[in-house]
A and B are shown apart, each in its own frame.
Chain A
Amino acid sequence: MSDHVNGAAEGTVANKVPVTITVNGRTHRADCEPRTTLADFLREDLGYTGVHLGCEHGVCGACTVQLDGSTARSCCMLAVQADGSEVTTVEGLAEDGQLHPLQEAFWNRHGLQCGFCTPGMLMTACELLADNPDPSAEEIREGISGNLCRCTGYQFIVESIQEAAPKMRPAT
């Protein structure tokens, strides 16, 4: 089941191109094939294995990262497209050994089982709460409906995001 179509099939070696990306505050410079996806680049070349690949066609959301402040499906873009960008992955959420409020809430509320969808779910929830600091359960369900979870049935994810919301609201 070949996804990749490339001149390399005829025995040519693809030219590598340099890419510079800042991930979780650290700037990386590496050479990669133009066909390399951002997800593969983050996972294979830079070691951010918290980025998970569940479908590689942009539906499941497990590979969701923040790219220059907005969520993006890292499986559906090329690393070269992210040249010069700032990326946050799940590894960048906890700071100074302290879990992010969303991570803490997912832990308290059993918002994860196998944990495979969790990095993408957390990144999506971060953006959701930034856009809507006090969402209803229905708004949360809508907001995470682009992230598939096969384990939890979503209810405890919704409760986790509800629990985290007040802790993430800026003090007034």
Chain B
Amino acid sequence: MAEQSAAGLIGARVRRQEDPRLLTGRAQFVDDVRLPGMLNAAVLRSPVPHARIVRIDVSRALAHPGVYAVVTGDEVRAAVATPQPVIWRMIPDQRMTDGYPLAVGKARYVGQGIAAVAATDRATAEDALELIDVEYDELPAVTTLEEALAEDAPKLYDEWPDNVSCRATIPKGDVEAAFAEADVVVRETFRFARQMGTPLETRGVVATWDPFTDRLDVWLSTQSPNLARDLFGEVLDVSVDKIRVRVPDVGGGFGNKFDFYGEEVVAAILSKRTGRPVKLIEDRLESFVANAHSREQKVEVELAATSDGRITGLRGTVYAVLGGQLATVGIGPCWLTAALMSGPYDIANVEASVVGVVTNRSPYGSYRGWGQPKSNFAHERMVDLLARRLDMDPLDVRRKNLIPADAFPYASPVFFYDGGRYDECLGLATDAVRDRGWLRRRDEARGSGRTVGIGYSFHVEITALGPSRIMNMAGLQHSAFDEEVVRIDSSGRVTVYTGQTALGQGIQTALAQVAAEQLGVPLDDVTVVVGDTDTCPYTGYGTGASRAASLGGGAVLTASKRLKEKVLRIAGGMLEAAPEDLVVADGRISVVGVPDRSVSMAEIGDAAYRRINGRLPEDEVPTLEEREVFDPPNVAFSYGCTAVLADVDRETGEVRLLDYLIAHDCGTVINPLIVDGQLHGGAAQAIGGALYEELVYGPDGQIQTTTFMDYLMPTASEIPAFELLHMETPAEHIPGGFKGMGEGGTIGGAAAIAGAVDDALADLGVATVALPITPPRLLAAMRNGQVQA
């Protein structure tokens, strides 16, 4: 497997370049970064959900041996130029929360930062936190959506009329008429618990802000280093040239490391104040309150349909249970739930609204899927419920309503879907279910007294986020293009410099495969450099929204093509042949049909950088480097169908997954091994979200799940073996045809699991409308027919 021939590298199942360092303990994660004179910081967090901060006395902490600095919210407020930025502002009249890195005046959720200490080591910093005296004037807390919306609810923001941050409606067609003329109308309300991405490595930062040069040098475990650099600049009022963000190995992101957190600003301020590097690593306990939470929504949906199962209208309202202040992505994920409420279906009349409501809970930010798991659950459950109402096979309802292959590009309420063969993909999954005998297994299990069911879901996944101008018009206060640099050096080896970030998703190997195939060099001759804003190019947005392989791959492909043209021109001169008569293979350029008339890539490199005279054509500039900026003309929609065979224990309410398959299309596949791994991991997160994971708040506003003993991430024992089936429909508007696929596994899983549970319990008429489907919820549903929150 070591030497891969370049031809056919796109699509090759090669093992990853990233792995040897990670396997041998030689990786460098942010907590492994140690700088001379470095201090360690810790954050004092609010123990109460809602309170006025009357007084903070840090004098005892400051006097503690080993403590270098203590900062409070007011001091941080005075040191910054702006509140924490919110980059998704798609609702123009939204009330913004204008939060600061540490609480100013009021604490609005348990775990909100109140003050921070820098000391010789973390233990000493934590010791000092205990010496900070804070007087809180406690206020009544708003702990649920219903409490927040109640007529006389306590207000989080005194200057607002209520706790509603925003309302917006996304219309398409004539929904009123569709419902007036419908044969049947199906209504349901869905509830989604709070969950979070929960990367195994918590967040962390090491900041060095030199008080003499004003240079800010940051190591940050982030998915979006260019965004972070720009936002550091805005918030700290430092010109961007003075800011360097380096990203070490990242122990998982899943959206949690996309946002720009207050702790990052606090670490910088503590560094400037002490004149030393400051490390701030969140521990697991903190991560459960200081990391962005996600998923929590109430979604009301109604479908209008004809009596033969044709959906004519969809109306829905997404209630976003936001936290005590807006995170970097603001209303973004919840807006996307509304924007994609019609999913893969051709529905002429759609009206989806979003209502953003603040509560005394942690902020709502990014988590893999970004709003789409909820829209998917809503439309897939509604299709199942419509089928039940009409006594139809839910697969027939899907077939009847999926966007047909000849209808692309398809105008959904917000986005243009670029293309696909949805019906074929559904068929791929249903054929596999048939061929693997699931129906027989279900019926046999039922015959022997077990409760087994089959569920399906069909998902679309927005990927390749761009183009910048349209995203700006939609309200994004940032760009969404990608820039890649491909360089051949004097030894003929290739280096790709990317602004995308390596989070474990294998982006280095994937980009290396694209460059190697285009340039005709062995895969091992390509190195991909990531994670440094001083040396790597700018990517808009960041590594999220399933952008990296699609946009990065497309840009590397175009840059490599142009670079190859220059290689051929130089080789043509050296071989006295026309460039079009040359071929490149395994790092050698030869004349077609005359293989011994050839030069190596190393000789070309030497001619372009070192011994130039007489070898580099007179009209060529030295060096071998191409730079490509790719701002895609449109997003690209991947899609897939998940099928689940599940066993429900009627005694305990436990759901066990027996089999799980995903039929999937993400355009041209660069590396099937990586794609499979992404789908597996995404599906495991979908399973966690469907059955186990829940951030629970008590009626007092206290979070009750702050360890892995309470927040149940699935282990290998809960996760079934997965089977994956692939289709490839290249994206016509992306060079190489690559679509993204980082979130696909996560989006469709819960609806398929819920469908399987309902199918298993069909005799009881159970309708699963809330996640996660925990044993107590399912037992209650068996009693009253509905899995509710």
Interface residues of A (CB under 8 A from B): 1-4, 6, 8-9, 11, 13, 33, 35, 43, 48-57, 59-60, 62, 89-91, 93-94, 99, 103, 106-108, 110, 112-119, 122, 137, 140-142, 144-158
Contact = CB atoms under 8 A, between A and B. Distances in A.
Contacts of B198: 150
Contacts of B708: 55, 57, 59-60, 148
A83 B774 CA distance: 44
Nearest to A103: B23
A56 B677 contact: no
Nearest to B720: A155
B: contact size bracket: 35 or more
Contacts of B29: 49, 52, 116
B716 A59 contact: no
B130 A2 contact: yes
Given A108-B15, A114-B250, A153-B681, A9 B127 contact: yes
A149 B254 CA distance: 13
A156 B503 contact: no
The 3 A-B pairs at the shortest CB distance, nearest first, are namely A50-B25, A114-B504, A115-B22
Contact of A150 (B26, B27, B254): B254
B213 interface: no
B753 to A, nearest CB: 14
Interface stretch (B149-157, B160-168, B280-288, B632-640): B280-288
A110 B674 CA distance: 8
A113 B504 contact: yes
A131 B197 CA distance: 34
A157 B716 contact: yes
Interface in B95-112: 111
A2 B286 CA distance: 9
Contacts of A108: 1, 15
A65 B31 CA distance: 18
A40 B590 CA distance: 57
Contacts of A52: 29, 200-201, 251
Interface string B268-284: 00000000000000011
A1 B25 contact: no
A6 B124 CA distance: 10
Contacts of B254: 150
Interface in B661-713: 673-674, 676-677, 680-685, 707-709, 713
B673 A110 contact: yes
5 contacts: A90-B25, A110-B674, A144-B716, A145-B716, A158-B721
Contact of A3 (B20, B126, B202, B503): B126
B713 A113 contact: no
A35 B286 contact: no
Contacts of B534: none
Interface centre among A35, A51, A93, A110 (most CB of B within 10 A): A110
Nearest to A144: B716
Contact of B200 (A50, A110, A117, A158): A117
Nearest to A115: B22
Contacts of A56: 283-284
A132 B23 CA distance: 22
B714 to A, nearest CB: 8
A4 B122 CA distance: 10
Nearest to A91: B25
Interface of B: 1, 15-16, 18-29, 31-32, 42-43, 45, 63-65, 111, 123-124, 126-131, 197-202, 249-252, 254, 283-286, 503-506, 673-674, 676-677, 680-685, 707-709, 713, 715-717, 719, 721-722, 745
B200 A116 contact: yes
Contacts of A116: 29, 199-201, 251-252, 504
A50 B716 contact: no
Nearest to B32: A49
Contact of A155 (B130, B506, B719): B719
Given A99-B20, A141-B717, A110 B28 contact: no
B23 A118 contact: yes
A8 B24 contact: no
A94 to B, nearest CB: 5
Contacts of B284: 54-57
Contacts of A60: 200, 708
B65 A11 contact: yes
B492 to A, nearest CB: 26
Contacts of A152: 677, 680-681, 684
A110 B251 contact: no
Contact of B677 (A91, A113, A158): A113
B681 A62 contact: no
A145 B717 contact: yes
A55 B717 contact: no
Contacts of B128: 9
Given A52-B29, A116-B29, A154-B684, A110 B676 contact: yes
A62 to B, nearest CB: 6
Given A9-B131, A150-B252, A54 B201 contact: yes
B123 A90 contact: no
Contacts of A43: 31-32
Contacts of B503: 114
Given A94-B23, A108-B1, A112-B23, 11 more contacts: A52-B251, A54-B201, A59-B708, A62-B200, A110-B677, A113-B504, A114-B504, A116-B251, A151-B681, A154-B719, A156-B677
B696 to A, nearest CB: 17
B127 A155 contact: no
Contacts of A1: 43, 45, 111, 283, 285-286
Contacts of A157: 716
A99 B1 CA distance: 15
A156 B721 contact: no
Nearest to A90: B25
A119 B683 CA distance: 23
Contacts of A106: 19, 23
B451 to A, nearest CB: 21
Contacts of B129: 2
A49 B719 contact: no
A45 B26 CA distance: 17
A146 B715 CA distance: 7
A43 B31 CA distance: 10
Contacts of B111: 1
The interface centre, meaning the residue of A103, A106, A118 with most chain B CB atoms within 10 A of its CB, is A118
B65 A140 contact: no
Given A57-B284, A57-B708, A106-B23, A113 B126 contact: no
Nearest to B47: A1
Nearest to A141: B716
A115 B684 contact: no
Nearest to B709: A59
Nearest to B719: A154
Nearest to B674: A110
A25 B26 CA distance: 18
Contacts of A114: 22, 199-201, 249-252, 503-504
